[in-house]
Chains A and B, each alone.
Chain A
Amino acid sequence: MHPSPATPRRAAPIPLPPYTPGRGMLATIKIVLFAVCLIPALRLATAFLGDGLGPNPIEELQKALGFWTLTFLWITLAVTPLRQLTGQHWLVRLRRMLGLFAFFYGCLHFANWLGLDMGFDTELILDDLTERPFAVLGFVTLLLMAPLAATSSNRAIKLLGGKRWQALHRLVYAVAILGMAHYLWGVKKIALTTPLIFAALLVVLLGYRAWDRARRYTPAGRGEAPGEMPRVVPTVTVQPVRFMERPK
């Protein structure tokens, strides 16, 4: 949201242009963020190898990796509301990395199940996939994340074209909802505290988008001329330059 001056008491403050880190600064931020995103994986790896996960390490690892998958997915989904509400539009340039880390933890979660939990035993795996609907749901969720990860490069964006790329990447909403269902389904009905916190956050993250979209459709909202075609894609994020041109 751009700062809109409320009734000024003194002189109207001149709105500052939104902060944009320079090239070098952005690179530094990215490197630091990358290291931070790796911390859970490194901590889990050392705990697993060092006997720090208790008597049932494979299950603990599975739970933790699932937790981090959803956490990174939620952080990814928080970028758009955050940048709109704070005006820090450069945040979107971190989103790709966050999304890829969600996929990375999802892949580790899947690999742990396949390798350490099931021991690559086809029979056990087929049993699970036929008798554990929530496992199937998790698998489908990961499959839906794969095309998003695969098309995360600049080249893929160019190849697909902004509009199509963006349409494809709206799959992330399906991924989040299915991932949430996988989590809720997989836990005991009485151990729902953490899953319900995740669910509440997801409602906020998706609810913000619904609200944002609804107000753009209202002629009175956000200064769009009555009768003007509402923008199908309210937040253009493909080309870093374009989001600066949002109508005020």
Chain B
Amino acid sequence: MLIRRPADVLPSEITSPATFARRRELLAALGLGAAGAALSGLGLPGRALAASVERGGNGFPPVAKAAPGSPWFSDEALTPKSTITSYGNFYEYGVDKTDPGKYAPGLLKTRPWTVAVEGEVLKPRTFAIDDLLKLAPLEERIYRLRCVEGWSMVVPWVGFPLAELIKKVEPTGNAKFVEFVTLADPVQMPGVRSPLLDWPYVEGLRLDEARHPLTLLGLGLYGEALPAQNGAPVRLVVPWKYGFKSAKSIVKIRFVREQPTSTWTRAAPSEYGFYSNVNPEVAHPRWSQKSERRLGEFRRRPTLPFNGYADQVASLYAGMDLKKNF
């Protein structure tokens, strides 16, 4: 099918020169200031400062940084790395928001790691993680992330469009959906011993959603390899949908004919639909979705349709009733 790429620079994304100039200062202050503040406490000024500047260390491939003017850039303040890595939902490590950050780094082994790509494709293939890292040039994408629970972040992801991987395996005409299956190893992920959810965690996208240029195969964060608690070594990033659609620690990608049932839809169909697009007009059964709290901010801000990516993705859902297909 025809995929419409958005214009490289949308009018809404053009930054005024004044803001642009101020932004660079801001970024510098943020990046170096934050690193410096963290380090003074640790007494390791030199080393970690170098690590934050010399991106892509530890064998992680070089990353093309998102720059103002790129559609993958956002001039909103980045959520600090310490927040992104210490707060989130990854129920394989426990239901508390701080559980993943506490337990995943010590338990998850990301080497060796393979991702099997199978189903309705001409060239099924199993990718080793190191091959995946080389499949396409890595780029930084600054995306907003909105959790269905009403909090949000701004995250500098690293990865490449999932479309690049899809091209390589050549889906057949029968492929209508893509299913993502994630690791469920009780040794590395103690949370899967509890019957809270149906493990392994499964998510799905329509093929056109999976091919959309915004959809990212996430491999890194803040210029470095993904931390364990953020879904290392490979995860999905779909910024116009609630965060839980972006499956973490993927081991299998299946191209299928029928719409997959995602884990959360199975657990509570009235609360979590297949599409789960960020939509202020469709309330969660227990709370409004009209506003959100950006972590680090005091006041709530209004939630935007498609998490602010409506210009790019609204056409995917032309003619659909998004209240029914929530």
**Residues in A lying within 8 Å of B, measured CB to CB:** 54-56, 58-59, 116-119, 121, 124, 127-128, 131-135, 185-186, 188-191
Given contacts A56-B151, A58-B293, contact A131 B86 (CB under 8 A): no
Whether B288 pairs with A127 at a CB distance below 8 angstroms is yes
Please give 7 more A-B residue pairs, beta carbons under 8 A apart, in addition to A55-B295, A191-B95. A56-B151, A59-B293, A127-B290, A127-B291, A128-B288, A188-B95, A190-B197
10 A–B contacts, CB within 8 A, in A order: A55-B295, A119-B300, A131-B283, A132-B287, A132-B288, A134-B286, A185-B286, A186-B286, A188-B95, A190-B267
Q: How far is the CB of B206 from chain A (nearest CB, A)?
A: 26
B28 within 8 A of A: no
Give the CA-CA distance A54 to B298 in the complex, in Å.
13
Which chain A residues border B134 with CB–CB below 8 Å? none
Q: How far is the CB of A243 from chain B (nearest CB, A)?
A: 43
Tally B residues with Cβ within 8 Å of A: 24
Q: How far is the CB of B250 from chain A (nearest CB, A)?
A: 22
Whether A118 pairs with B300 at a CB distance below 8 angstroms is yes
Give the CA-CA distance A8 to B283 in the complex, in Å.
68
Interface of chain A, main secondary structure: helix
Give the CA-CA distance A121 to B286 in the complex, in Å.
19
Task: Please count the residue pairs between chain A and chain B whose beta carbons lie under 8 angstroms apart in the complex.
Answer: 56
Interface residues as binary, B279-302 with A (CB distance below 8 Å gives 1, 0 otherwise): 000010011101101011011100
Q: How far is the CB of A60 from chain B (nearest CB, A)?
A: 9
Which chain A residues border B95 with CB–CB below 8 Å? 188, 190-191
- Near A by CB (< 8 A), chain B positions 276-326 give 283, 286-288, 290-291, 293, 295-296, 298-300
Whether A59 pairs with B290 at a CB distance below 8 angstroms is no
Whether B151 pairs with A59 at a CB distance below 8 angstroms is yes
Whether A56 pairs with B300 at a CB distance below 8 angstroms is no
Whether A128 pairs with B296 at a CB distance below 8 angstroms is no
Which chain B residues border A189 with CB–CB below 8 Å? 267-268
B27 within 8 A of A: no
Given contacts A190-B196, A190-B197, A191-B95, contact A56 B286 (CB under 8 A): no
Give the CA-CA distance A189 to B12 in the complex, in Å.
40
Give the CA-CA distance A185 to B286 in the complex, in Å.
8
Whether A121 pairs with B86 at a CB distance below 8 angstroms is no
CB-CB nearest in chain B for A121: B300
Pick from A55, A58, A132, A135 the residue with the most CB of B within 10 Å: A55
Which chain A residues border B293 with CB–CB below 8 Å? 56, 58-59
Given contacts A119-B300, A124-B291, A190-B197, contact A55 B286 (CB under 8 A): no
Which chain B residues border A190 with CB–CB below 8 Å? 91, 95, 196-197, 267
Give the CA-CA distance A132 to B286 in the complex, in Å.
5
Give the CA-CA distance A197 to B207 in the complex, in Å.
44
Q: How far is the CB of B90 from chain A (nearest CB, A)?
A: 14
